[in-house]
Amino acid sequence: MLPRVLEPEVMDSPEEALAYDAMDHREVNRQFVDDLLEAARRFQVPLEEVILDVGTGTAQIPVELCSRDPRYRVLGIDLAAAMLDLGMVNVEAAGLREQIQLQQVDAKQLPFASGSFACVMSNSIVHHIPDPAVVLREMWRVVRAGGMVFVRDLMRPPDQATLDHLVRTYAAEADSQQQAMFRASLHAALTVPEVRQLVEAFGCPAETVQATSDRHWTWAARKEE
């Protein structure tokens, strides 16, 4: 198994934000939202309240979600000001300023009371965090009883050959900076057993974490009453 190699926690230069936003995440984002909505139906969690998006980046997923239904509202948080600046551009361009709010917040210390949200979602923040247990525990803390978490991130490949294959498969048309970002993210990602161990530590069943593609794991769990 490849060792985990940390990458910078915050992508906060305008150049990094632009490079990230320019990558073609459309299919991945559509799949994330499809799967989020399916999980909400399965867990019987209403999404007509404010949804917390942890590590919202340039707000592409809130835009995808809120474009589907005017009842959805999202509070997107991120530590990177450059990402949020570009995210607001995306929100305004989509005409969704009434549905999406963005705030600069550290996911390791969420400034929300326990049980504040019926749904907490997150895509691709965990691999940025040196100690992911802190962020996962915080997301679980702010979900109320009967609510759910839906967290997806990259999955660290077992070896260098697999990592190279993933870069060739999913970033072949990206520029060298974008390919380097994807490669670094795969190196920094967690494995399914690692994530399962982390969520079990605060009482969430291991089976709520599953590999959901050749490069992603997903933690989808309902917080029991």
Where do the H-state alpha helices sit in the chain?
14-22, 26-43, 60-66, 81-93, 132-142, 160-170, 176-188, 192-200
Does the pLDDT value for residue 185 go beyond 80?
A: yes
| pLDDT confidence of residue 20 | 75
Question: Percent of the chain having pLDDT more than 70?
Answer: 96
| pLDDT confidence of residue 21 | 65
pLDDT single digits (tens) 111-159: 999 999 999 999 999 999 999 999 999 999 999 999 999 999 999 999 9
| pLDDT confidence of residue 8 | 77
How is residue 117 annotated by DSSP? E
d(CA 69, CA 107): 27
One DSSP character per residue, 26-39 reads: HHHHHHHHHHHHHH
Lowest mean pLDDT among 3-12, 27-36, 49-58, 185-194: 3-12
pLDDT single digits (tens) 89-105: 999 999 999 999 999 99
Does the pLDDT value for residue 15 go beyond 90?
A: no
What would the mean pLDDT of 71-86 be, rounded to a whole number?
95
Distances (CA, A) of 6 to 9, 103, 108: 8, 25, 16
Does the pLDDT value for residue 12 go beyond 80?
A: no
Domain 14-222 has CATH 3.90.1150.10: no
**Residue 24: which pLDDT band, with cuts at 50, 70 and 90?**
low
| Domain limits, the chain | 14-222
**Pairing between strand 209-211 and 216-222?**
antiparallel
For all residues of the chain together, what is the average pLDDT?
Answer: 94
Name the 3-class secondary structure at 186.
Answer: helix
